[in-house]
Structure 1
C-alpha cells in the first residue's frame, strides 16, 4: 500500500480507539449522577459499567470472525453505524433501563469495529515488531480519550447540562469516522494459506489454541489489575487526610495522563529493546506499586497507584499484538475477538470480585490484596516469557509463511 493510505488507515484506527475510550472511561463520572437521578444502589448503578463490557465480550467472541469473513471495512463501518445510532438515541429516552439497552447495542458495536480495527493493524504492519509499536500508539490515543471523556462529563455537569450530550457528541464524531472509513481503500488480507472455515465454530475452536489461551490469560490478568485503579482507587483514597489531598483528588487524572504518556514512550522502548525484556520490567514495576500500596496503606497508594499507569501503559497493547501475531492474517479478526472476550469479561468481573471481598472484610483496601495477586501472577508470566519465550517459534513460522 502507499504510505499515505497506510497513514490514513492508522489515523482512522487511532480515532476509533479514542472514541471508544471517551465514552467507556467516562462511566465512573456518570454513575454518581445516575444514583441521584434514579435512586439506585451501587450494585444497580454498576450495570452502567458491566452491561457494555458483557456485550463487548460476546460481540468479540461470536462476531469477531466477521472481520475475516465480510472484510475489515464492512465490519468497521457496520460497527460505527450501530455505535452512532445508539449514541443519538440517548436523546430520545429518559429511563435507566432504556440507557442500559442502548449500552448493550454500543457494546456490540464496539466489539465489531474494534476487532475489525485490530485485524486491520495486522494487515498494514510490515513485521510483528511494527505491529506491536503501532498497537502501543493506538492505545496511546485510547489513553487520551480516557482523559477527555471524564473531563467533558465534568464540564457538562458543572455547566448544568445533561451527561447525555457526551453520547450525542460521540455519535456525531462516530458518524464522521464512518464516512471516512467508507471512503478509505483498505488492503486485502492474504487468504490463500487459510485452511480453516471462517465462522463462529472456528472462533470457538481458537479458544482451545494454547497461544490464544496463554495471551488471553495474560490480558485478563492485566485488565483485572488496571480496572482496580479506575473503579476502586477513588474510593480507597477517600480515607486519605495527609498533606497531599490535592494528589488524592486528582489521582485518577494523573493515572490516565501517565498511562497515555507511557504508551507513546512504550512505542519508543519497543523499537529499541526486546519486548520480552520490556514486559518483565514493567509488570514487575506494577506489582511493586501494588505491593507497596498493600504494605504502606493509603499514604503510599496516593503515589504508587497513579505512578503504576506509566508502567501499565505498554502491557495491554503488547500482549494483544503478540497474541494476534501468533495467527495468520486471515484469522486476525477471530483471534482479536477471542482476546477481546477475555478483556471485557475481566473488566466486568474483576471489580465485582474486589467489591465482594471488600464488603466481606469491611474495607475497600482488602480488595487491593486481590489486585496485588493479579499483578503478581502477571509478573510471573512475564518472567516465564523472558526465560522461555514460548511464542517465538510460532511467530517466526507465521512471518515466514506470510512472506
Structure 2
C-alpha cells in the first residue's frame, strides 16, 4: 500500500514536465500538482484522522483505498488541467484516510513500542521502493509513447487488489477501556498535547529538509550556463557527471535501503541515540555541501538518504506510541498533517528565498540547512533529556502488557 501511493506521489516531478507541455501551463500552475496533493493529505490527516478510531481500521482503510482507486481511474476521463487538479486533490484526501488507518493498524499488530518502530520502518521502506519505481515507470511509459495518465491506472489496479486483500484479512480487535465516542474535536485537541506537537514539529523539520533534496538538488547541481544551455558539462570527471545526472535516484535508493536496515537497527539500539547521530550527519552533509559547492554536494546530498532513512518512520512510530491505541488514528493524522505541511511549505520557502537572491538554488539550501540544524538541536535535546521515556514506559505496560 505504501509502495503503491509512493509510485504516484514521488513521480510528480516527471509528470509536471509532461503537464507543462500538454496544457501549456506555467511553472507555478504546474507546481499545484504537488501542492494540492500535499494540501489534500494535510487536510485529511487533521480533520479525518479520527475516522480510523471511530469506525475501525478496516472500514476506514477500505474507504481510503476506494477513494484513491476512483481518483486514479478517473484520470482516463480528464481532458482539462482543472479536472486533473481536482483528481490530484481527491487522491491526497484519500491517502490521508487510508494512511492514518494503516498507521493505526501497525500499532494494533505490534507487541511492543520497539516492535512498532521496526514495523514502521518496514512499511516506510516499501514507500521508498515505490519512490524509485514510480519515476522509472513514468519515464518508460513516455518513451513507449504511452500517456503518463496510465501510471494512475496501474496504481488504481494495484489499489483494487489491495481492497480485495483488505476485505479478506482478519484485523485484530481492540476494545478501548474508555467507551466515550471518538469525535473530530478529540483529534484537534491533540494539537495541544506536547508529545503530539513535538513529534509533529520534528516531522515538519525533517520533511522540509528531505524535500529540499529531491525538489531543489537538481537545480543546485546544474552548472552555471555559459553557452545559454544548462547541463552538467562543468563536471569534467565522468563519474561525477554520472552522479549529478542520477543524484535524485541515488538518494531514493539509499533512503529505501536504509529503511530496511532500520528494521534491524531499531530493534537493537537506543532510538534517541540513533536519531541524534543521523541528524548530525545530515546537518554535516548539508553544511559541507554548501561550503564546498556542487562538486562535493553531488556526493554528499544523495548520501543524506541513508541517514534520513530511519528518522521519519521513527518519529511516526514513537509519536503514535505515546498514546493509547484508541487514539492512534487521530494522532497519526496530526503527524501526517505536519508532514504534508513540511513537504509543501519547505520547498516553497526555499524557492522564494532563491528567487529573492537572483534565482540561485544555493540560497534555498541555506534555508534547508537551517531546517537540518533545528532538527539536530531538537533530537540532541531529546537524547539528553529523554522526555518521552516515562510516557512510553506507561503505554508499554498499559497497551502491550510489557513490564
Both structures adopt the same fold (TM-score exceeding 0.5): yes
Per-residue CA deviations over 1:24-67 (Å, capped at 9, x if unaligned) read: 00001111111111122111110000101001001011110000
Deviation at 1:96, TM superposition (A): 1.0
Q: 1:232: which partner in 2?
A: 216
Corresponding residue of 1:8: none
Backbone CA RMSD of aligned residues: 0.9
Work out whether 1:110 is the aligned partner of 2:106. Answer: no
Counterpart contact for 2:5–2:155, Cα < 8 Å: no
8 Å Cα contact 1:86/1:105 also seen in 2:
yes
Output the CA distance in 2 between the equivalents of 1:393 and 1:18: 34
Select the residue among 185, 202, 206 that pairs with 2:186. 202
**CA distance in 1 between partners of 2:367 and 2:79 (Å):** 37
Equivalent of residue 73 in structure 1, options 55, 58, 70? 58
- 1:225 and 1:283 mapped to 2: Cα distance? 11
Q: What's the counterpart of residue 7 of structure 1?
A: none
SS in structure 1 opposite 2:192?
A: coil
2:147 paired residue number: 162
Distance 2:179 2:214 in 1: 42
1:218 to 202, 219, 222: 202
Out of 278, 281, 284, the position equivalent to 1:285 is 281
Q: Normalized against structure 1, the TM-score is what?
A: 0.95
Q: 8 Å contact 1:190–1:329 — kept in the other structure?
A: no
Deviation digits for residues 220-278 of structure 1, max 9, x if unmatched?
00000100111111111122521221110000110000000000111111111110110
Residue number among 364, 386, 390 corresponding to 2:387 in the alignment = 390
Q: How many residues align structurally? A: 387
Shift of 1:197: 3.9
The one of 361, 364, 374 equivalent to 2:361 is 364
| Paired residue secondary structure (1:198) | coil
Report if the CA contact (8 A) 2:46-2:334 is conserved.
Answer: yes
The whole-number CA distance in structure 2 between the counterparts of 1:321 and 1:33 is 37
Question: 2:125 — aligned with what?
Answer: 140
4+ residue stretches of structure 1 with deviation over 4 A?
A: none
TM superposition shift of 1:195: 6.4
| Structure 1 residue aligned with 2:229 | none
Deviation of the 1:95 alpha carbon: 1.2
Equivalents in 1 of 2:385, 2:181: separation in Å?
32
Q: Within the alignment, does 1:325 sit opposite 2:309 as a pair?
A: no
Could you tell me how far apart the structure 2 residues matched to 1:96 and 1:152 are? Answer: 22
Deviations 1:331-363 (A, max 9, x none): 000000000000001111110100000000011
Q: Distance in 2 between matches of 1:159 and 1:45?
A: 23
Please list every run of 5 or more consecutive structure 1 residues that lacks an aligned counterpart in the other structure: 1-15
Shift of 1:199: 0.9
Per the TM alignment, residue 196 of structure 1 is displaced from its structure 2 partner at its CA by 5.5
Q: Distance in 2 between matches of 1:376 and 1:197?
A: 41
Instruction: Check whether the contact 1:69–1:198 (CA below 8 A) recurs between aligned residues.
Output: yes
Q: Which residue of 2 aligns with 1:342?
A: 338
Q: Is the 8 A contact 1:79 1:110 kept in 2?
A: yes
Aligned partner of 2:9 in structure 1 is 24
Q: Is the 8 Å Cα contact of residues 254 and 306 (structure 2) preserved in structure 1?
A: yes
SS in structure 2 at match of 1:207: helix
